[in-house]
Structure 1
Amino acid sequence: MSTIQITDTGKVRLITINRPEKLNAIDAQTALDLQAAFVAFEASDQRVAVLTGAGEKAFSTGADIKDPPEIWRIMPNVGFVSEKPVICAVAGHCIGGALMTMVMSDLCIASETASFSYPEARVGVTGGVAAALATRIPHKIAMEILFMGGRIPAQRALEIGLINRVVPEGKQVEAALEMAAELAGAAPMVLRTIKRFVARTMPRGPSELMLEAQQEISAIFASQDKREGEMAFAERRAPQFTGS
């Protein structure tokens, strides 16, 4: 079974985390698949992406501890860059890295059954990206979520500005697709410009900057030019670099 499902409707792409039996926990392969799906979406003619989880029990419970992923790969502006709108449709649990994926997206529609939490302080681990929460909702509320790790129900999440709308159980994907269809009719150049300007305005924490630098350096180490440079040095000739 594929870890994700992709469905296009008009100019909207629906990406579904497809591990309902695991409450859509993100294992290593799912993280890679989601990252690749969003890179493909950005390169496509589709204008808006909706991310959701299969079933009604969980959007995602975050990292699968039995097969730990590089969960930053699934986070907008961290694991991939998209200048197109990304909407999350959340039902049930949205925990840890999944919460930060929602936070880093542009918009969120949540079922009345949804709940949000970041329990890393209780389990003794964090990647640090969660600091971005304090740039998106009031500081004291962000610190409560990050420090206390308690469950934030959908209505409270709406009140604190963590999400955009609460809809009846089972209607979150439908509502997100309706919002996406409306956005798909807007001027793409304007949406891209707004999103770029917002990204430049948002403060970025040390973990985000570190991950960005790591990805750029990794691209160099995986490049053809690196291999050509090493071969040219060993063969005592001038390298023929191609920029790839």
Structure 2
Amino acid sequence: MFMNDLVTYESIENVAVITIDRPEKLIALNPAVVEGLREVWARYETSDERCAILRGAGDRAFSAGADLKDNPLDLWMGVPDLGVPVTKPIIAAVHGHVIGGAFILIMHCDLIIAAESTVFHYPEARVGFTGGIVAGLVVRIPQKVAVEFMLLGQPMTAQRAYEVGMVNKIVPVGTQMEAAKEWAKILVNNAPLVVSTLKAFSLRTIPKSPSDLAAEARRDLTRIHTSRDRTEGERAFAEKRVPKYRGT
């Protein structure tokens, strides 16, 4: 098992089970959680696992969203396909409260299985802040429903979310992981090249929001800014020699 203090990664029969483990804070997302998510998505992408399940520890919530006392200003870095490119499928198994930034996380998962107690809530218009990534919801569910969810900031039940296509399946409380594992087993036994290709084609078909495009640009530029090549280039310039770049 790989883990930092707040995000764990467990490999079970070619399935990566990724758990956000902060139940005493209702799985609130702080910078350490975001960094942990970034690390596990990168590990999953290069691993032998063929499917991942994302879950929150505890009984009350999948996640209460951003920790307003320790706000992760770069939450996008922990979001799959935004902060870290992920070519393999991800299933979100959710229950209880799914609020704000937590909704952004599951919106970028490929499949969502929700316990019947799940309540989705996006209150950014009421708290006076937005990163804008949620705007991508308008191409995932009917536009008017997405705008209602974003602008009014009112809770949406699991049943309503299922009816509008926000989630794939509703299950009894406490069985969401079992249901996710059943789907993961199917995905593990499917042809991985076909699965990854269809996922890639699907993502290319979805128009990207301005915030999505900005996040992807920042991700690519961050890779350059933190690269060994940048350090080598600056050092070679100072030492008046030809740099030896390695593409890393």
* Rounded Cα–Cα distance in structure 2 between residues aligned with 1:54 and 1:133: 25
SS where residue 16 of structure 2 aligns?
Answer: strand
* Rounded Cα–Cα distance in structure 2 between residues aligned with 1:207 and 1:201: 17
Structure 2 residue corresponding to 1:187, chosen from 171, 188, 191: 191
Are 1:44 and 2:47 matched, yes or no? yes
Alpha-carbon offset, residue 68 of structure 1: 1.2
**1:145 maps to what in 2?**
149
Structure 2-normalised TM-score? 0.95
Structure 2 residue corresponding to 1:105, chosen from 88, 109, 122: 109
Are 1:75 and 2:41 matched, yes or no? no
* Rounded Cα–Cα distance in structure 2 between residues aligned with 1:238 and 1:83: 37
- Residue 105 of structure 1 aligns to which amino acid in structure 2? C
Unmatched tracts of structure 1, length 5 or more: none
C-alpha RMSD of matched pairs (Å): 1.1
Structure 1-normalised TM-score? 0.97
Are 1:203 and 2:179 matched, yes or no? no
Q: Deviations over 1:86-108 (max 9, x none)?
A: 00000000011111111111101
Q: Deviations over 1:164-197 (max 9, x none)?
A: 1111111111111111111111110100110110
**1:231 maps to what in 2?**
235
Equivalent residues, number:
244
Q: Deviations over 1:69-122 (max 9, x none)?
A: 121122221111111110000000001111111111110110111000110000
* Rounded Cα–Cα distance in structure 1 between residues aligned with 2:33 and 2:95: 19
Structure 1 residue corresponding to 2:66, chosen from 53, 60, 63: 63
Alpha-carbon offset, residue 6 of structure 1: 2.3
Alpha-carbon offset, residue 238 of structure 1: 2.1
Percent identity over the alignment is 46
* Rounded Cα–Cα distance in structure 2 between residues aligned with 1:129 and 1:76: 12
- Residue 35 of structure 1 aligns to which amino acid in structure 2? R
Q: Deviations over 1:18-48 (max 9, x none)?
A: 0011110111111100110111011000000
* Rounded Cα–Cα distance in structure 1 between residues aligned with 2:145 and 2:188: 33
* Rounded Cα–Cα distance in structure 2 between residues aligned with 1:78 and 1:107: 16
Unmatched tracts of structure 2, length 5 or more: none
Structure 2 residue corresponding to 1:26, chosen from 20, 26, 29: 29
